[in-house]
Amino acid sequence: QVQLVESGGGSVQSGGSLRLSCAASGYSYSFYCMGWFRQAPGKEREGVAAIESGGSTSYADSVKGRFTVSQDNAKNTLYLQMNSLKPEDTAMYYCAADQACLEWWLLQEVAFTYWGQGTQVTVSS
């Protein structure tokens, strides 16, 4: 059974940094893509960043230049380095993965089958 477990969330002041991790386990195949989504209170879940097995990445406009997605295939772990954090980045952050990843670069939920439980990020002003 595929498991995605996020960690690294917390509370930070505006302008600070956090690094999220997502450890994947319970599968014998390779994910073609993995990504990060977030959901703020009262808002719909939105795509933040994604990476495919060849290393190509995609970012939401709101985080370009501030967030960096990366993966360590040897450790089966996905990362999200978040710099220059803003209060509007406050949300629950979810890790997602899939084997087929239809149009993964569009950062749409429908492209991802497997999801973690989320880790909370709170940015204060």
**Res. 28: pLDDT tops 70:** no
The chain-wide mean pLDDT, for the chain, equals 94
* Arithmetic mean of pLDDT, 20-46: 91
8 Å CB contact between 33 and 54: no
pLDDT at 75: 82
Q: pLDDT-derived band of residue 102, with 50, 70 and 90 as boundaries?
A: confident
Phi and psi at residue 38, to the nearest 5°: -145, 155
Maximum distance among all Cα pairs of the chain, rounded to whole angstroms:
43
Residue 96 has pLDDT above 80, yes or no: yes
Identify the pLDDT of residue 47: 98
